[in-house]
Structure 1
Amino acid sequence: MAKPPPRRAGGIPRGLDHDGPALFSYGFRPFFLGGAVWAVLSMALWVAALSGLGAPGGAYGAAHWHMHEMLFGFAPAVLCGFLMTAVPNWTGRMPVSGRPLMALAALWLAGRLILTFPPPTAALWPAVLLESLFLPLMAALFLREIAAGRKWRDLKLVGLVALIAAANLWFHAAVLTGADPRPAARAAVAGYVVLILIMGGRLVPSFTRNWLARNRPGPVPAPLDGFDRASVALSVAALALWVAWPETRATAGACTLAAAVNLLRLSRWRGWRAWAEPMVWGLHLGWLMVPLGFAALALAALGGLTQAGALHVFAAGAIGGEMLAVMTRATRSHTGRATEASLPTTLAFLAIAASALLRVGAEFVAWNTLIAAAGTAWIAGFTLYIAEHARMLLAARKPRGR
């Protein structure tokens, strides 16, 4: 009989669980699958609600529910699945798996159910407090692991998870007290975008460099340097202005500059040289939505686009697109599969980018048609991911060489 995962005094049992279901042998498995399924189901419920078929969220409000479940339901699952896999690699410590991982996944799932089918208004506060437990718990877990591994430079990632957790509580409090939850939503989006600026700024050029070294010798992405750090700092300042004062000339100016700087940063990674491999250019396509998102915020600050339309460039295009690209690559890599993209994967990347652009287009023409098309494209993108990768997430890792 295999030995149980090692247990640390007063801590969570950890170590790869080889006795239970493969789904709970590593953090990316349940959270990538759960996040993708919820991306499909929650969007389908929202599109149906816009057509007058049902009202998810009950007393919480369907519109508030939709905003919440994209930012605090789908996205945290993918983020935590990624970090639960990446942090052990950074620290050299064993990952959480088995029953503790089942409990964390169950807590996330409980939040989705309790907010989609909430209790009567009088009992909403206990319900949202239960829903709000997942992100602080994950932030505490990542803090523990990074501190134990003495990877102090990665503490900023814990801070961003904590920021998103605080934005979740803020969002709930605003909804239940009748205040405006949009500033909390902007804070959460800003947190995710900063994560993309930091983590994407490592992953995109690294994966591009590796592919080019194997397949197309020649110019490679520029190494991380002062320009990258300055662009992140400028972007954080622009996002802070947007969160606090979304419709001012100062915000428009800062976001315009951030758009230009991030477009230049992306060009330094030479993504066009990897046009033959969608698994690489899919990362660049998701990252392209960062400068486009800043440009949309600048336009919205000047009255040329609604704030909702601009926010979706970040929320659907950058967050959704980059998460899908990372999920696809990590799923294949960590289950022993080749990291070359198939036709369904290529179509999935394009569908998520189309979803963001269609949502912006709906602000100008054919609202009902383009809103439905945007939702359908989002559903198609994550359905394609599930159809191709669910079996990989549910099965044991494929032995090397097979």
Structure 2
Amino acid sequence: MTKPGTKTGTKTKTKIGGWRCPDKRAMTHEGLRLFFPLAATHAALWPFLWVLQGLDLVFANTVPPALWHGYEMVIGAFGAALLGFIATTVPEWTGATRPGGRLLFALAGLWLCGRLVGLLGAEALIIPGALADGAWLLWMVWFVLRASFARRTTSLIGFGFWLALLAGAALCTRWGFLTGDIEAASLALRLAIYAFLGLLGLTMARIVPAITNLVLDPTRETTPFRPHPGRRRLAPGLVALVFAGELAGLSPEVTAYLLIAAGAAFLDRLAEQFIGREAFRAEIIALGLSAGFAGLGLVLAGAARLGAPFAETMALHLTLMGGLGMAVLGVFSIAGLLHTARPLGLGWSARLAIALLTGATLLRVVPGLGLMPFPPGPAHLAESLLWAAAFALWLKAYLPIFWYEGEATDGGG
């Protein structure tokens, strides 16, 4: 995602009362302009609202609220981010026709239907929610594979593979919700997490070298950074073994070592962050934290299965909040600049958002490791506030340049 976009349209705004209506052409100029703000809004609100409900949901009876919470974060918040990423980068990488206008709004409507069901844990609406989520998830699979076939390229096959696994795991999770098979739903949700990590590994293999070279040489005339080719597919390959092992029902000890190996592969990517003083650039730090948190969380999850004195769910929170969450926030911030024709260089809002998200992750995980007491107040309130503040700051900085064309903000550079 390093090819700058172009600004389109005019600065004319329509006002309703004191509120300016978003420019529809700006919102659908690229998929990220619509779905990144939707993902950030959901990511900011859902955990906080869940905490306000006392970690419960109004209409959840058979399905544990914690499973709804996990599904909504993985498929809801991160899913919208993935949808915007795929709708934007696949045309950029292949030259395929860029989706826009009514199609993007239709996909957003399907995504929103699923989120309304999950907001209250409405078990009576599980089927409509599953159909809505299945539609936009399978659209991504079709879109990637169609572009790959049309351009006679195999570079996107891996993305199509992991997207298909993600769609299947999400639908199986919903099926477990519908039938009341909580064990099957829990397994399917873990598989969805692994599918997302596979996508993270593939995405980082393409994004990190491009961003690193742009940091080292903003003129784009040279490519001083060239990653080791053996690292490009190592992490997603080992995650695939974890996925297969879980699906095959291998013993906890075997899957524990597979988790540790996959985590080590993500941690190995940190070696690519040492590029001199530019390693302290916010963009490089965010991408490095994503790989580090994802890897450490997988290693700790494996250790928990081998008898370490902490819960596996705590380790998975490190992978999800720190690994996937930081990747999402980092891509939001970097792509938000490059795809609105702005130079790379994160403003104070994006930098503070990265710090807040790091704090939220540590506050969620460190007490579970016994390294500090749990913060006072309602359970998970403190970290949910930091998490919400991180994405709210990003929205404040980037929403104007996404939905109101031609308007820059501090956070945009």
1:344 corresponding residue in structure 2: 349
Decide whether the 8 Å contact of 1:209 with 1:221 is kept in 2: yes
Q: Per-residue displacement from partner, 1:54-82 (whole Å, max 9, x unpaired)?
A: 72554555323211110111111101101
Encode CA deviations 1:137-160: one digit per residue, 9 max, x unaligned: 222222222222222221220121
Tell me if 1:79 matches 2:82.
Answer: yes
* 1:62 to 2:71 alignment: no
In structure 2, what residue type is equivalent to 1:262?
Answer: F
User: Following the alignment from structure 1 to structure 2, what is the Cα–Cα distance between the partners of residues 108 and 332?
Assistant: 25
Matching of residues 3-402 of structure 1 within 5 Å: 20-50=24-54, 55=57, 58-59=60-61, 61-117=64-120, 121=124, 124-179=126-181, 180=183, 181-214=185-218, 221-241=225-245, 248-270=252-274, 273-304=277-308, 305-363=310-368, 364=370, 365-366=373-374, 371-396=380-405
Alpha-carbon RMSD: 3.0
Q: TM-score, normalised by structure 2?
A: 0.83
- In the alignment, what sits opposite 1:3? none
Identity of matched residues, %: 28
Q: Give the aligned residue type for 2:333.
A: T
What is the TM-score when the length of structure 1 is the normalising length?
0.85
Provide the C-alpha distance between the structure 1 equivalents of 2:268 and 2:132, rounded to a whole number of angstroms.
43
Look up the equivalent residue of 2:112 and give its one-letter code: L
Residues 278/148 of structure 1: CA separation in 2 closer, same or farther (3 Å cut) = same
Distance in 2 between residues matched to 1:185 and 1:97, nearest whole Å = 30
Provide Cα deviations, 1:87-130, integer angstroms capped at 9, x if missing partner.
00111122011122111111111221133246563x54344333
- The letter of the residue matching 1:29 is R
Gaps of 5+ in 2: 1-6, 10-22
State the SS of the aligned residue for 2:53: helix
Q: Which residue of 1 aligns with 2:16?
A: none
Partners of 1:278 and 1:295 in 2: CA distance: 25
In structure 2, C-alpha distance between the alignment counterparts of 1:156 and 1:198, rounded to whole Å: 8
Per-residue displacement from partner, 1:219-251 (whole Å, max 9, x unpaired)?
Answer: 954434134434543343245435665872223
Letter of the 1:266 counterpart: L
Task: Provide the C-alpha distance between the structure 1 equivalents of 2:405 and 2:130, rounded to a whole number of angstroms.
Answer: 35
8 Å CA contact 1:114–1:131 kept in 2: the answer is: no
Separation in 2, partners of 1:120, 1:254: 34
Contact 2:300 2:315 in 1 (8 A): yes
Deviation at 1:260, TM superposition (A): 3.3
Q: CA deviation at 1:45?
A: 1.1
Equivalent pairs counted in the alignment come to: 381
Using the TM superposition, give the Cα deviation of residue 254 of structure 1 relative to its aligned residue in structure 2, in angstroms: 3.0
Q: Is the 8 A contact 1:337 1:398 kept in 2?
A: no
How many Å separate the matches in 2 of 1:184 and 1:41? 24
Residues 331-352 of structure 1 show CA distances to partners (whole Å, capped at 9, x for unaligned) of: 1111122221112211211222
Cα distance in 1, alignment partners of residues 280 and 230 from structure 2: 30
- Separation of aligned partners in 2, 1:272 and 1:48: 45
Which structure is higher in RCO with an 8 Å CA cutoff and minimum separation 6?
Answer: 2
CA spacing shift, 1:48–1:256, aligned 2, 3 Å: same
Please give the secondary structure, in 1, of the residue aligned with 2:98: coil
Letter in 1 for 2:374: A
112-121 or 73-82, which deviates more? 112-121
- Once the 2 structures are TM-superposed, how far is the Cα of residue 191 of structure 1 from its aligned partner? 0.8
Q: Which amino acid aligns with 1:87?
A: V
Contact kept, 8 Å, 2:201 with 2:233, in 1: the verdict is no
Could you tell me how far 1:323 is from its partner in structure 2?
1.0
SS in 1 for 2:233: helix
Structure 1: state its 5+ residue gaps.
1-15
Q: Which amino acid aligns with 2:34?
A: P
Q: Distance in 1 between matches of 2:192 and 2:246?
A: 12
